[in-house]
Structure 1
């Protein structure tokens, strides 16, 4: 491959790996917030344990996902300086807003939530996780604003060899954004719900002692996944309107984009059939149907696969443009790059992000297997004799 193909491959691989973390983070955040809300209102200890258990999985995924996001930011300056030169004034603005939200608001309130157990008032502690959730979705909004600008550079004009933003409102109401954002949100809810219901089915299949815990988790996961898949499929098909208007021929003669789109649609329809037409109607009896639990477990990885295929279809279908109709991928590439340089960074980035993904799923799998009894997040202070013994050591 030449240097351009290597650079494109690098971004596709690292982008796909990063998106695996993002879609689960967005999916788990509202689930954890809902669990804590129910506990705060009803006071049922099972919902507190659910909040801590699924919250620990959320924190693991969030912490490792942050590192993959830094690699993505680094790539823009490393390989695609032409994008910054031509459209940095437009493209950089939503990314900067997203970074401020993610690294200041979201991470600050997540820290308060993690370390605020048994220290903050219950209502204030609940507010922290809801702020984390809202800022996470605000970050997703700004990322999609930036991505939709690449799909359709609305509200901009070309002046002196670079793009300038002349209508901020047009940037926020971009037709390539308004249908794509709900599609991504639905995919996140589908992914989070599928992980919760898959892990719960696994423990119920093992006949764990935590029957009530995983019964409630399974039912919540199925309900959220059903909402997620319905929104995902509906807004997925709704995107064909703006895509046909602004990017006609997006999938013509582009095997990666057309294979990605076809398989994504197939997976989406399969998930809609299994979750909405099979699992949701029997949600009351599903925890007791041990024969159905392997089916639930098999569903779990499919939303991740569909998310990556959808991302590849959206990005690969825009080729050869980086900014559609304005800047080609070749013109956006940084000058002076060699095949050796890009190959070295491709191997390094893929190894680091791949390792982080493996570590993420190993840690999550360990938490799922051990169950809620060993969760460290939100654990109460040790009894006085144990604390004294610990201090003496």
Structure 2
């Protein structure tokens, strides 16, 4: 492989792994916020246990996902400095806003929520998780605004060999953004609902003593996954009209076409199954034969999300900024195949380790059940939450 293909492969691998963390974070945040709201309003202990259990999974995924996001940031300076030189004044603005929001606002309120159990007023504590959820979706908006500019570079003109932002409103109302953002939001709900559903089905199949806890969670997860699938598919189809205007040949690159077909095939098959299962929500926790099926369906939305990401990115090749900057021109100068190979192996190894660690920690939390969760426990100091998660 040449240096260009190696660099593209590197970004595809790191971007795909990072996206796995993102979709779960986006989907779990509102689920946990709603659970916490029920606890704050009713004071019922079962709602507190649900909030703490699924919140522990959220915190684990969020913490490890931060590291994968940092690796993504390194990509732009390492391999794609031409993008920063040509379009940094436009493309960098939404990324900078997102970074400030994620690292200073979202992470601050998440810290207050993690360490605020039994310390903050219950309404202030509840406000923290809703602020985490709000800022998570604001971050998603800015990331998708930046990505949509690459797909359809509106609101900017070229001056002196660089792009200059002339219409901020056009950047925020980009046709490439309007339908793609709800599509990603739906995918997050679908993925998170599937995790809640699959984890609960796994525990019920094991004949857990926490049957009531996981029965309620399975029903919640199934309904969230089904609603998420409706949003995802609806806004997925809604994008074809606008894509036909600014990227009419998008899916005539062979890989983009295959990725699109895989995404649609997985998505429509699983949505059809969820459509059949949704009316049976009340009975499913009692049907032992159905529980392995629900476990098997868990990774499907993640696979569809990766295929969708590949279709969106590969489909505008050879452009990095559609019609303005090619991928070849965006590459950093002086890179050699050996240099990119070393970084590819290193990044893949680090991100792969983080992904495996995330899976093992979440699986361990699911396997142990709600009785051993450190988040919000009265008898453990607040910093023990992360220490408990990492030690298992």
Q: TM-score range by the shorter chain?
A: over 0.9
Query: Which residue is equivalent to 1:198?
Result: 198
Structure 1 partner of 2:138:
138
Shift of residue 39 of structure 1?
1.2
Give the alignment partner of residue 346 of structure 1, picking from 314, 327, 344. 344
Structure 1 equivalent of residue 237 of structure 2: 237
Look up the match of 1:153.
153
- 1:262-299 C-alpha deviation (Å, 9 max, x unpaired): 01001111121111x22210111111111111111111
Cα displacement string for residues 210-267 of structure 1 (whole angstroms, at most 9, x for unaligned residues): 0111011111111111110000000000000111010001111x22111100010011
Q: What's the counterpart of residue 303 of structure 2?
A: 305
Q: Is the 8 A contact 2:186 2:228 kept in 1?
A: yes
SS at match of 1:209: coil
Point out 4+ residue stretches in structure 1 off by more than 6 angstroms: none
Cα distance in structure 2, aligned partners of 1:126 and 1:215: 25
Mapping of 1:177-188 within 5 angstroms?
A: 177-188=177-188
- Please list the CA deviations of residues 330-359 of structure 1 after superposition, one character each: whole Å capped at 9, or x if unmatched: 000000000000000000000000000000
Where do 1:108-147 residues align within 5 Å? 108-147=108-147
- The residue that corresponds to 2:24 in the other structure is 24
Superposed CA deviations along residues 129-156 of structure 1, whole A, max 9, x for unmatched, are 0000010010000000000000000111
Specify the alignment match of 2:69 in structure 1. Answer: 69
1:10-36 superposed Cα distances (whole Å, 9 cap, x missing partner): 000000000001111111111111111
Report the equivalent of 1:314: 312
How far apart, in 2, do the equivalents of 1:225 and 1:131 lie? 23
Partner of residue 368, structure 2: 370
Q: 8 Å contact 2:374–2:380 — kept in the other structure?
A: no
Q: Secondary structure at the match of 1:51?
A: helix
Task: Name 1:78's counterpart in structure 2.
Answer: 78
Q: Where does structure 2 lack aligned partners over 5 or more consecutive residues?
A: 382-392
SS state of the match for residue 250, structure 2?
A: coil
How much does 1:381 deviate? 2.8
Question: What's the counterpart of residue 93 of structure 2?
Answer: 93
CA-atom RMSD, angstroms?
A: 0.9
Q: How does 1:23-42 map to 2 (within 5 A)?
A: 23-42=23-42
- Per-residue deviation, residues 369-390 of structure 1 (Å, max 9, x unmatched): 000111001101369xxxxxxx
Q: What residue number does 1:189 align with?
A: 189
Aligned to 1:390: none
Matched residue of 2:235: which SS? helix
In structure 2, do the counterparts of structure 1 residues 245 and 375 end up closer, same or farther at CA, with 3 Å as the change threshold? same
Aligned equivalents of 1:36, 1:274: Cα separation in 2: 30
Please name the residue that 2:385 is paired with: none
Q: Distance in 1 between matches of 2:170 and 2:126?
A: 36
What is the match of residue 276 of structure 2? Answer: 278
Shift of 1:66: 0.1
Q: Give the TM-score normalised by structure 1.
A: 0.96
1:120 & 1:135 partners in 2: Cα distance?
A: 20
Aligned to 1:323: 321
Q: Deviations over 1:180-202 (max 9, x none)?
A: 00000000000000000000000
TM-score, length-scaled by structure 2? 0.96
| DSSP 3-state at the match of 1:239 | helix
Aligned: 1:267 with 2:266: yes
**2:51 aligned with 1:45:** no
- Tell me the secondary structure at the aligned position of residue 376 of structure 1: coil
